[in-house]
Amino acid sequence: MKLTSPSMRGMPDRMILLPGGHIGFVEVRSPDKPSRDFQIGQLRKLGFQVFVIDSPEMIESVLDEIAAN
């Protein structure tokens, strides 16, 4: 699910919702661009899983990690 928040700059690009109430956030970046983690730290402090993906090969392992927690 594409995540947009006009009032909160720097939110991750995607919110991942999986069966069983598993939720994670994903920031999608190109390999040569650093992550803009304005809200990533805040979401992690609240106990959410937040991932930065910079290659398609990472997608499956991130989905597995979200589903496991």
Q: What is the DSSP string of 33-66?
A: S----TTHHHHHHTT-EEEEE-SGGGHHHHHHHH
Model pTM score? 0.83
pLDDT higher at 67 or 35: 67
pLDDT higher at 11 or 51: 51
Give the C-alpha distances (Å, rounded to integers) separating 58 from 5, 29, 55, 62: 25, 12, 6, 6
